[in-house]
Chain A
């Protein structure tokens, strides 16, 4: 994302003008935008005009509209962002108060004004415009009959394709069905990789599986590439990394991130950091449960005691949330930062972010043990029940 202009007043109101440059930027914008913000962008609208004779003609007019945002829709797969709202600026074609849906496009600048630019939003802008942090990785988790082809960026894990092939098991006396099914499966994965992985951008392709599936598939892919003289695959052979995972489901990506081989390759990408923090949290919960808290109420109490060492929050909590809730979390973050805590904002699109989200969205590793009275009962029960509607559509 390119920041063209930023103007924020002392009262934290103001606007930024940015150009999204890649699909991931759409994700950032999606996280920036809140109900009530104002957005100005170029768009196309069908405008009806009535001639003197009474005949009606509809023209498609490109115009610049400013709307007050009411609804946002984000398609992760396509990276499309649609923003719906009412027009607030006088215009030749569109009256004030008329509804319009802006379809944000790549490489088209837009201006976003907020009444309040809080620290999360500003951090988001900063992160989004930092090109050094980009690492594009493709990952394929496999097990016999199931493969998930994902693209990992700094902030997103996008499932491009999920392949499920019924492979007959081996039966006494005949393995022909099994071998045939396996070949069919490999062929589909091979095709999916060719279709979804753009080797000019992707630096690493991770093949993760239990057993020997990854090795077998890799052999298959290379032999197939040689057979069909598929140069892209042959040339990018070094980009493939074979990693052990315990299953072929998307959740296994977490194990991928833990693999030392991958860690060194992906250096300090957000995903590996998040996975590490999550691991630490669970380890702490195991060894010293009084130093690992989760759920807003508990973590809040820890923050009040300036006990937080690492605070983990998902970005899910800031999106879509009303100002009140948002402020609640921002205060938590600010308070934690004040006590020198390391604050990590997890991307809810990553596997670890999903996991954190299941853990009520907030977790903290404390610097010292803290015994809370309400420890006997999981206090933020209302928290989780409130989150339920969001959690229903979780996707691993």
Chain B
């Protein structure tokens, strides 16, 4: 035989199978105990599947092992795969389980998300009383709950059913869970952490099923398996519901399909409802199939089915007739429901076939689930619960459909039409698309309002003159709050000592570039996060050096609140405050950028021996200045600290077990409401008030910051601060942009538009403060990974906007603005060149025309077309930029409608955009 022929004769299937098997053989390290269990389960599965399936033992074993002895899931999977791709199933499967398992094990540790939405789930499970009644009522009084089902207005009823269902599906989920994790213990105690993820997985699987992928993607195949389990149990639930509604007696329907189902009802409804599925007890689905198998042997399908259906129908109508006060409409509705429920049964019964039954029955049911129903959407409060709710919604949907059918008030004919197998599947399949969408779409606003508390992040910028100790202070704060581990800190200390900058060790926490460390100067904004008692903070450590004011503006324009650090040591405060010091400039800048709340950290007070008089002197001078800048007196708080020594940062000086509090400070720093009252404190301290509590520390004060209202409902805007290729997940076709969301909200999968340029992309992932999220809202500092946008199209200053139909931001090179002129060395004239800063962008502009100067308070025009704008004046001007800049009117967006004008390293004016000129 020639080589060619040998090759020809090769059984590719076998070749590849072996290869895959060798690569992914997971069966090797099975313990004896498991082996034993495997064989028993194998028998059971065999029995359930019937004799002539064509599935070999090995395969079943593997699936069993993969599902960790869950026979139901295994059967579901086997039946499904063999139906879809009978031949390739072996390869398919062998390739997948390990992968899937890895996925699972990866997913598990990721559950420590502080903002996880599981509480709601936990609530669901931990409050049986809330969910049980729905079921209980179903069981006990079929008529009333039926009514509840049929009248959507009666939301409590339907909700309780929803709840029950979701709970049930949760139970089934938890039953599937252990197989991924291999650890039954953790799997069974799944409710505290995992459901969110698992149900998400199932949700995705549902989506995959619905899109009718003939062969699910490798990654999602495991999900679809899980999904199959979930759906299966859901089916059983609907059946059990039905059984409870109809109260059909065991004997009545002997020998027919629904008989076993109905009889099984009390038995398996409970396990499902209580969600105790730790052991590998065959799920209800399995039983159902089993029962079907039995029935199949009895003979033809449809006839007995009809009989059962009819009988059930009669039963239920009977119930309705019995229930007093029910109007005719209600009855018709009920009839509709009956008809619909019968279709459920019909579908299930009809489709049950030895081989393909389950997959078929799963599918039609899955297609029943679509629900664009707004009401349900609104009920979709949490993304984690969403998939379950979607399932629950399917029931509601089903009910709705029933209602429609009931309008014909011809249950019989309806029944006939449904009995033709086609209709059952065709109609719902049209609904597939809206569901996929509606399921993915998260109502972020509702989400946000629900989780506002958890997500209340404040963007805190730290500003001040160069060498005031901003980075050291914040570095020490982060260290004290446990954001920096001991080892790293030790390393910093050692290394900074080595280059003779030992005192900069804490600053190294934030100054990460080599340049910054060797020079001991912060050059660019450093971002970090920390949590206080009531708030989460995104920390923006700004550079103090005057050359880096553009960077500081970039950071400050992202901030809500600020800490102004001043150096209290002799001469240093003055050099930062007087003349062109950055204490002054920064204070004005952040105020102009919308920061209202400010804590002044009077740093290095230890150098002057914690002198109270020095503290008061600085307080007095600064407060007068700050009030002049437009801060409210009550929004400015002063606190004496030592960044280097870490005194009065995170805990009050009188707290026990801390660094010995400096006696000098303790002698006069007491808890007063405002810094202005320190003077009183001094007086009273003379009359001995040693019992008084020490004054608030820095963290106390920043913890008291209030969160501003976020413009969540406006169209999404994000000014790009930084961008880079790839990102957390790493992909060739995507680019990561970072910045703070100026307004609106964004979620994964959403389409966005980039301005200028107009390129569109899709959000692939969202990182909020270094934590992966599904959505983000205004005020969050995020890193968005966007697909389909080329990095060449991005630049600092681009704005990522919500996709159509929302209107994107405009990029203009001419606009009108109102300027507040500070204290420039030279007056602003027509044709005055300057650098304009907006968010992180700086662009050369020309004050093309001065239109008028006006009185800031009254708004009266002082002078039309003046030749120049003097210091401190306000004016309306036309500005022309060298390149188009993304701007919004100030009234529409505070963040994107604010500009700063600088010239020769000096901030000369702040402005707000009043109108845009588009050519």
Contacts and interface: CB of A to CB of B under 8 A. Distances in A.
Is B truly associated with A?
Answer: yes
Interface of A: 143, 145, 166, 168-173, 175, 177-179, 210-212, 216, 244, 246-247, 249-251, 254-255, 282-283, 285-286, 289, 294-295, 298, 354-355, 357-360, 375-378, 381, 384, 391, 394-396
Contacts of A172: 512, 526-528, 770
Given A170-B524, A247-B842, A381 B513 contact: no
Which of B548, B831, B868 has most A Cβ within 10 Å? B831
B547 A210 contact: yes
A210 B548 contact: yes
A177 B738 CA distance: 14
Q: Contact residue range for chain B?
A: 35 or more
B440 interface: no
B16 interface: no
Given A179-B513, A179-B514, A294-B867, A358 B905 contact: no
Interface stretch (B380-388, B690-698, B717-725): B717-725
B867 A169 contact: no
Interface stretch (B301-309, B317-325, B843-851): B843-851
B825 A251 contact: no
A358 B846 contact: yes
B827 A360 contact: no
A210 B905 contact: yes
Given A282-B826, A298-B867, 11 more contacts: A170-B526, A171-B527, A172-B512, A210-B905, A246-B903, A249-B842, A286-B826, A295-B867, A375-B867, A378-B865, A381-B865
B525 interface: yes
Contact of A168 (B515, B548, B724, B868): B724
Nearest to B511: A170
B905 A169 contact: no
Given A168-B722, A359-B829, A212 B515 contact: yes
B298 to A, nearest CB: 67
B87 interface: no
Contacts of B868: 285, 289
Which of B545, B770, B867, B882 has most A Cβ within 10 Å? B867
Interface in B500-547: 512-515, 519, 523-528, 545, 547
Contacts of B738: 169, 171
A305 to B, nearest CB: 17
23 contacts: A166-B791, A166-B795, A168-B724, A170-B512, A172-B512, A175-B512, A179-B513, A210-B905, A211-B548, A216-B515, A246-B903, A246-B904, A246-B906, A247-B835, A286-B826, A289-B867, A295-B867, A358-B830, A376-B863, A377-B866, A378-B850, A378-B867, A384-B830
B724 A177 contact: yes
A166 B794 contact: yes
A295 B863 CA distance: 18
B123 to A, nearest CB: 34
A396 B513 contact: no
Contacts of B525: 169
Contacts, number: 126
Given A255-B904, A381-B865, A357 B882 contact: no
B410 interface: no
B796 interface: yes
A255 B834 CA distance: 12
Nearest to A283: B826
A143 B528 CA distance: 25
Contacts of A384: 830-831, 849
B360 interface: no
Interface string B422-434: 0000000000000
A169 B721 contact: yes
A37 B620 CA distance: 72
Given A166-B723, A166-B795, A247 B825 contact: no
Which of B545, B796, B833 has most A Cβ within 10 Å? B833
B550 interface: yes
B37 interface: no
Contacts of A286: 825-827
A384 B547 CA distance: 34
B771 to A, nearest CB: 12
A377 B513 CA distance: 53
A39 B882 CA distance: 36
A45 B796 CA distance: 50
Given A166-B794, A170-B526, A294-B829, A246 B905 contact: yes
Nearest to B509: A172
Which of A212, A250, A294 has most B Cβ within 10 Å? A212
A355 B831 CA distance: 7
Contact of A166 (B528, B545, B796, B825): B796
Contacts of A178: 513
A194 B832 CA distance: 34
A357 to B, nearest CB: 7
Contacts of B844: 249-251, 396
Contacts of A355: 831, 833
Contact of A285 (B513, B827, B903): B827
Interface string B764-798: 00000010000000000000000000010011100
B523 A396 contact: no
Contacts of A244: 547
A116 to B, nearest CB: 31
Contacts of A354: 833
Nearest to B526: A170
B270 interface: no
Contacts of A285: 826-827, 829, 868
Contacts of B295: none
B199 to A, nearest CB: 32
A169 B524 contact: yes
A247 B514 CA distance: 22
B864 interface: yes
A276 B846 CA distance: 20
Contacts of A295: 867
A255 to B, nearest CB: 6
B491 to A, nearest CB: 14
A38 B512 CA distance: 66
A73 B548 CA distance: 41
Which of A216, A251, A354 has most B Cβ within 10 Å? A251
Contacts of A359: 829-831
Contacts of B770: 172
